[in-house]
Amino acid sequence: MFSPMIRELMESLRCLPGVGPRSAQRMALHLLERDRDGAVRLSAALKQAAEGVGRCQHCRTLTEEKVCQICANPGRDEKLLCIVENPSDVMAFEQAGGFSGRYFVLMGHLSPIDGIGPEDIGIEQMLKTVADNRVDEVILATNPTVEGEATAHYIAEELKSLGVTTSRIAHGVPLGGELEFVDGGTLAHALAGRKKVEI
């Protein structure tokens, strides 16, 4: 019963993750009834970003600049390279603080079933970066999932011949919360990776 333009808006909103038909209807009517300026601004931002955002030449993260802000920062240690799957992982590490090296963003993980091989996640480019910058240590910070572990393992194998130190972020119980709610796999990892308490 909605007019074609409103229906098209509702259908288009479904491309957003987590937005079903009810949310799309609520969003469309909200914008049309109460926030047309917001709709116009969002329209412009979407067009601009979809057409303008590419990849950082060095780390492959999403940016409209040739080189992202982190890679362009001379204060960041180029001898320390942290490999992550997604731009949001870079954001998470930056918000946590404490890392002064650089990143390399795979923009995914190895997934032979989906036809995603090493060339699709920039392994060549990453190896070249490691060699060119004479990186001292590569930190594998892919996700603690089956695909993330497999990707980390593959990269570690590739790095072996370059004689670079390779490390994996620690797996264990997260801070806060209670042990009884931690899943078995994590607990097993935490036990196996236990460290001697030095007093």
Whether residue 7 contacts residue 29, with contact meaning beta carbons closer than 8 Å, is answered with no
Minimum Å gap between C-beta 146 and a second copy is 20
Q: How long a stretch of residues is the chain?
A: 199
Whether residue 85 contacts residue 148, with contact meaning beta carbons closer than 8 Å, is answered with yes
Q: Which residue, 134, 104, 135, 136, is CA-closest to 121?
A: 104
Nearer to a second copy, 62 or 190 (CB): 62
Interface positions, 86-145, toward a second copy (CB under 8 A): 86-88, 90-91, 94, 107
Minimum Å gap between C-beta 35 and a second copy is 5
* DSSP conformation class of 75: T
> Binding to a second copy by residue 63, rule CB under 8 A?
yes
Whether residue 159 contacts residue 138, with contact meaning beta carbons closer than 8 Å, is answered with yes
Nearer to a second copy, 4 or 184 (CB): 4
- Taking the alpha carbons of 100, 98, 67, 85 in that order, is the dihedral positive or negative? positive
Question: x/- binding map, residues 17-56, to a second copy, per CB under 8 A?
Answer: xx----x-xxxxxxxxx-xx-xxxxxxxxxxxxxxxx---
> Binding to a second copy by residue 8, rule CB under 8 A?
yes
Nearer to a second copy, 86 or 143 (CB): 86
Q: Which residue, 76, 96, 91, 166, is CA-closest to 126?
A: 166
- In the complex, the residues that contact a second copy under the rule CB under 8 A are 1-6, 8-9, 11-13, 15-18, 23, 25-33, 35-36, 38-53, 62-65, 68-70, 86-88, 90-91, 94, 107
